[in-house]
Structure 1
């Protein structure tokens, strides 16, 4: 537990990622049809229009893996003082967010893209903290 208090910013940011991505992944699983329907409309006039189910599944995997590994990173930090799993979770979180950002930009949803950046900034900051 002392390792968590010594690495409080990392711990909070890992928890932020765990909450964000586990909730998002769970939402995609529970409401797959709703998400798929909305995204088909969102990407209807883009080169991605025929790839929506595959893209949704890919983002679901990246988000869920990021959330699980971020949560595991907190546990690993508490037990061993290391956060290797959390680091991998943060990297996957960045990848997931960049995929989402690309999608929003391709769909010309600039407000949506701006929202993604709000999540990307603390995720990249977490990677910076974990590098030290």
Structure 2
């Protein structure tokens, strides 16, 4: 069986980056739900999101897990079959997750936190660009 690594080396590295980023983040949110929720309630206590933190945490957890799982499936399909559809879906969902986090930080006026999210958004957008 031929692995399509060399033909897709950049995409492969970026997908591994997304797998690590989103599966780690999603699993951490699931394993330490109470700790994450407690911190976020305090973080967003003076924002328009203050009454929606549990719902929004659930939504972002689902989106992050979806991004990580799609990236994993996309990596397998890319390496084994040279198919890019799932990798493209992973890039799109990753960008959606990061934009959700970004808008939360901007509305909360946490500009340093927003800048940090942009660091993750750049490789996600680059992957999206490569896959189109």
TM-score of the two chains, using structure 2 as the length reference:
0.96
Superposed displacement of residue 5, structure 1: 1.5
Query: In the alignment, is the contact (CA less than 8 A) between 2:46 and 2:108 conserved in 1?
Result: yes
1:48 corresponds to 2:49: yes
Matches of 1:67 and 1:75, distance apart in 2: 13
Q: Deviations over 1:79-98 (max 9, x none)?
A: 21102111101100000000
Structure 1 segments (4+ residues) deviating >3 Å: none
Aligned length: 131
Partner SS state of residue 14, structure 2: helix
Alignment of 1:121-132 (within 5 A): 121-131=122-132
Q: Which runs of 5+ in 2 are unaligned?
A: none
TM-score of the two chains, using structure 1 as the length reference:
0.96
Q: Deviations over 1:18-65 (max 9, x none)?
A: 010000000000000000001001111111111001100110011100
Q: Which runs of 5+ in 1 are unaligned?
A: none
Alignment of 1:108-123 (within 5 A): 108-123=109-124
Partner SS state of residue 85, structure 1: helix
> What residue in structure 2 maps to residue 64 of structure 1?
65
> What residue in structure 1 maps to residue 5 of structure 2?
4
Measured on the aligned residues, the alpha-carbon RMSD in Å equals: 0.8
Superposed displacement of residue 2, structure 1: 3.7
